[in-house]
């Protein structure tokens, strides 16, 4: 069985990122971006997707959080795309609901290589900790684009923005866990390609 793991580095004038990802070995997680809420969300994503993830980012946080959030999502998406290889023997589709107290979120993914992201979180606050709420949406959109998958995520209800955002990420993790599961029936496409 081919290992689905990779290591990536990316350095720009805005961020410096190192990442190790393993889709098949759950457990080891170390996320350090300098933004507590981003660390929390990426840790939850890896935990509930069943991945090992090490991600370290040093970004221009003196400007704001945008470059760090975006670049972490791009590198993680690129790593996911690399780990999935030609995407044969994948279940391909995944869907999941995740609650967090009063919040409920739904995510649906298709790992065909046609990237799209519709993200509706309904966040009311401007920020959660040092992370702009608009960048939580951008995180999920950038992850889908770089990972070359189709994503629909909606927070269906919830009064607390932290709960809404975390439920969305957890539902995405569970949907990705399902979609990345290996099957033995070959490529899940009537066209014969993804």
What is the pLDDT at residue 89? 87
Rounded mean pLDDT of the chain? Answer: 95
User: Hey, which CATH number is domain 5-179, 3.55.40.20, 3.30.230.40, 3.40.640.10, 3.40.250.10?
Assistant: 3.30.230.40
Distance separating alpha carbons of residues 5 and 50, to the nearest angstrom = 13
pLDDT in tens, 27-58: 899 999 999 999 999 999 999 999 999 999 99
pLDDT at residue 189, rounded to an integer: 57
User: pLDDT digit string (tens) for 57-71?
Assistant: 999 999 999 999 999
pLDDT at 88: 86
So what's the pLDDT on residue 78?
98
Q: Is the pTM of this model over 0.85?
A: yes
Q: What are the pLDDT digits (tens) for 125-166?
A: 999 999 999 999 999 999 999 999 999 999 999 999 999 999
What is the domain partition of the chain in residue ranges?
5-179
Span 78-114, pLDDT tens digits: 999 999 999 988 999 999 999 999 999 999 999 999 9
């Amino acid at each position: 069985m081919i290992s689905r793991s990779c290591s990536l580095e990316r350095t720009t004038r805005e961020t410096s990122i190192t990442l190790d990802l393993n889709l098949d070995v759950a457990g080891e997680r170390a996320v350090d971006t300098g933004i507590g809420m981003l660390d929390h969300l990426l840790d939850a994503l890896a935990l509930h997707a069943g991945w090992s993830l090490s991600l370290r980012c040093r970004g221009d946080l003196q400007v704001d959080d945008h470059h760090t959030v975006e670049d972490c999502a791009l590198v993680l998406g690129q790593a996911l795309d690399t780990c999935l290889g030609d995407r044969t023997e994948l279940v391909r589709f995944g869907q999941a609901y995740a609650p967090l107290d009063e919040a409920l979120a739904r995510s649906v993914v298709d790992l065909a290589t046609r990237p799209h992201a519709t993200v509706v979180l309904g966040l009311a606050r401007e920020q959660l900790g040092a992370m702009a709420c608009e960048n939580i949406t951008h995180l999920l959109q950038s992850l889908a684009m770089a990972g070359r998958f189709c994503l629909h995520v909606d927070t269906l209800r919830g009064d607390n923005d932290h709960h809404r955002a975390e439920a969305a990420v957890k539902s995405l993790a569970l949907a990705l866990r399902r979609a990345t599961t290996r099957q033995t029936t070959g490529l899940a496409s009537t066209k014969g390609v993804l």
